[in-house]
Amino acid sequence: MSDTFVVVGGDAAGMSAASKAKRENPELDVVVFEKGEWVSYAACGMPYYVKGEVEDLEDLVAVTPEEFREERDIDLRTGHEVVGVDPGAGTVTVEGEGETFEQPYDHLLVATGATAVEPPFDGLDLDGVFTIHDMDEAGAIEDYVTERSPDTAAVVGGGYVGIEMAEALSARGADVHLYEMLPHVLQPFGDAVAEVVEEHLRAQGVHLHLDTAVSGFDGEGSVERVGFEGESRPADIAVVGVGVAPNTQLAADAGIELGETGAIATDEYGRTNYGNVYAAGDCAEARNVVTGEPDHVPLALTANRAGRAIGQTVAGDPEPVGGTAGTAIVKAFDLGAARTGVVDEQRAREAGFDPVSVSISAPTRAHYYPGGAELTVTLVADGESGRLLGGTVVGREGTKRVDTVATALAAGMTVSELQKADLAYAPPFSPVRDPILTAANVLEGKLDGE
Dump pLDDT digits (tens) for 155-183: 999 999 999 999 999 999 999 999 999 99
Q: Say what the pLDDT of residue 304 is.
A: 97
Exactly one of 3, 42, 44, 407 is catalytic; name it: 44
Based on the residue annotation, tell me whether 44 is a catalytic residue of this protein: yes
Whether 380 is covered by a domain: the verdict is: yes
Residues 129 and 214 placed together within one structural domain of the fold = yes
Domain count, the chain: 3
pTM: 0.95
Residues 157 and 179 placed together within one structural domain of the fold = yes
Q: Which long-range contacts (CB under 8 A, 24 or more apart) does 76-81 make?
A: 76/10, 76/18, 76/32, 76/34, 76/39, 77/31, 77/32, 77/33, 77/34, 78/10, 78/34, 78/36, 78/37, 78/38, 78/39, 79/34, 79/35, 79/36, 79/37, 80/33, 80/34, 80/35, 81/33, 81/35
CB 174 within 8 A of CB 51: no
Q: Say what the pLDDT of residue 2 is.
A: 78
Q: Say what the pLDDT of residue 1 is.
A: 53
Residues 227 and 170 placed together within one structural domain of the fold = yes
Residues 282 and 233 placed together within one structural domain of the fold = no
Q: Say what the pLDDT of residue 240 is.
A: 97
Q: Say what the pLDDT of residue 449 is.
A: 83
Residues 266 and 305 placed together within one structural domain of the fold = yes
Q: Which domain holds residue 386?
A: 334-447
pLDDT < 70 positions in the chain: 1, 450
Q: Last residue of a domain, which of 210, 242, 274? A: 242
